[in-house]
Amino acid sequence: MPKRPRIAVLGFILESNRFAPPVKRPDFERVGYFEGSEILDEVRKPYPAIDESMTAFVKTMDESGDWEPVPVIFANGAAAGPCDHGFFLELMADMRKRLEAAGPLDGVYFCQHGAAITTEHHDPDGLMFQMARDVVGKDKPIVATLDLHANISERMVSATSLLVGYITNPHVDMWDRGVEAAKAIRELLAGVRYYPTFIRLPLVAPSVTQLTARGPYGDLINMGQARQKKENAIVNVTIMGGFAWADTPDNGLAIVVTSRGSAEPGHRLAKDLAKSGWADRERYQVKLTPIEDAVRMMKDLNRDKAKPPLLFADVADNPGGGARGNTTWILKAAFEAGVEDMAITPFYDEDLAAEAHKLGCGARFRARFNRAETNEFSKPFEAEAVVRNLSDGVIVGRRGTGAGTTMDLGPTATLQVGGIRVVVITNRTQALDYGYFESFGVPVDQMRSLVVKSRGHFRAGFDHLFTPDRVIEVDCPGLVSPILSRYPWKGLPRPVYPIDPNAKWEAAD
Ligand SMILES: [Zn+2]
């Protein structure tokens, strides 16, 4: 075992929606692009604007013995479209150059999302892991943490020593997974051998069916965790719900079980999990609330003050899945119906936020939503508005997935449109907690209806205010509707459940 192991830390975070516009370097720089020592500088701030798994990995390594971190590059593009292929090659070449220049390395930690595609390749995450494997050689530990929405390729498994996927959705265990990755690196450095077993099911689970507090996916995760607790030979159970809209041949619910000492215990558990997950497939069907019904509920809340308020999720326009966060279906329908004491957050419209900042607080003007957007979902909407609140948009998350991290929404303006307040932001992002209203002047406790642009992470940021039965998933058109039959899929392996109800799978030996 090396006395002072030299461990490279790097990462590439991108969840690619094939139907969203491609992203390049400036898009990553806007979310978070760190080179060399900048990674460690960020991690050591009180509220780092960097992935929590990275922070947890570095801190756990610091606390668990001597080591020399070799910070490389951490590029965060959040959820967006495919990565421009030219930029991806540039980024990977830069990473390779830095890894080679670092001299002999004892291991590598990747803080990765794991559902990226480029404009020309469906497995950039696998290519990046393979690049690192080529540089450090076949016996050195490479450990990667992954988002629960990762799509797993054979290359990602074979190029690494261990994949550690989140086990919560909403994701509130990024910290724990970073700690786990660091402990695994220590164990691998001590000479223990890991054996992964990988099984992929022809099951593309719609986003809203992948919650872990309940439902078929939660049950499967719990089964894996319970078995891991009982079996000492199991190092890790990673079950990835995956991200449908990356639209690749590697899509499908992925089970990666890693065992120590021998492959057998991992094999057995992976197979049991796959069988159980497949037997449960009919539970991965989606039922959303039609928009007409949602607006009726909002009107009803205005009439009947005794009823507790409701939280509506515009799940198909979730920026956390690469959507633009600017569709106007709910805003328009609620405005036309005269809904009051309602608020929407966040609405992504740079031009509108800038105009409101120029006009100033209290100004009345004709607000033109989506004057520059042209895709089929981002329709224009115009109405008289009053500027109620202006902010630089930098907040610290207080609850749920973003708690304790700095989030930069860019210049933000809260507009009053009829009885509706709309929080207009500059940096596209999903609603993660109640601060997305409160920090921008919306009194959450006085609202009858709240609308969030988010698929599910908001749940962990509002769970003190709304029980699950007070959360309504609304069916609107958008780039990430969980009704998967609506998309012109090109890459998905077919047949695949539930898009193809007759999809088949059998456990191989
Ligand atoms: Zn995710």
Asked whether the beta carbons of 317 and 327 are under 8 A apart, the reply is yes
Confidence of residue 2 (pLDDT cuts 50, 70, 90): confident
Confidence of residue 190 (pLDDT cuts 50, 70, 90): very high
| Cα Rg of the chain, angstroms | 23
pLDDT tens-place string over residues 326-355: 999 999 999 999 999 999 999 999 999 999
**pLDDT of 283 over the 80 cut:** yes
424 Cα: distance to centroid of ligand 1 (angstroms): 24
Positive or negative, the CA dihedral 19, 20, 25, 30 is: negative
Cα distance from N-terminal residue to C-terminal residue, the chain: 36
pLDDT tens-place string over residues 234-266: 999 999 999 999 999 999 999 999 999 999 999
pLDDT tens-place string over residues 27-51: 999 999 999 999 999 999 999 999 9
147 Cα: distance to centroid of ligand 1 (angstroms): 5
The torsion region of residue 338 among left (phi > 0), alpha (psi -120 to 50) and beta comes to left
Q: Which helix (H) or strand (E) holds 425?
A: strand 420-425
Confidence of residue 372 (pLDDT cuts 50, 70, 90): confident
402 Cα: distance to centroid of ligand 1 (angstroms): 12
In the block, which residue shows the tokens 């609308």?
A: 451
In the block, which residue shows the tokens 């609330």?
A: 289
| CA–CA gap between residue 466 and residue 458 (Å, rounded) | 11
Q: Tokens representing 80?
A: 């967006």
What integer pLDDT is reported at residue 1 of this predicted model? Answer: 78
166 Cα: distance to centroid of ligand 1 (angstroms): 8
Please name each of the domains of the chain with its CATH number: 1-192 (3.40.50.2300), 194-286+483-509 (3.30.70), 289-481 (no CATH)
In the block, which residue shows the tokens 């199991």?
A: 234
Cis peptide bond N-terminal to 26, omega within 30: no
299 Cα: distance to centroid of ligand 1 (angstroms): 33
For ion ligand 1, residues whose CB falls within 5 Å: 147, 149
456 Cα: distance to centroid of ligand 1 (angstroms): 9
204 Cα: distance to centroid of ligand 1 (angstroms): 14
Which residues have a Cβ under 8 Å from the Cβ of 270 and sit 6 or more positions away? 197, 198, 199, 255, 256, 257
49 Cα: distance to centroid of ligand 1 (angstroms): 17
Asked whether the beta carbons of 462 and 434 are under 8 A apart, the reply is yes
**pLDDT of 386 over the 90 cut:** yes
What integer pLDDT is reported at residue 286 of this predicted model? Answer: 93
What is the separation of C-alpha 33 from the centre of its chain, rounded to a whole number of angstroms? 17
368 Cα: distance to centroid of ligand 1 (angstroms): 32
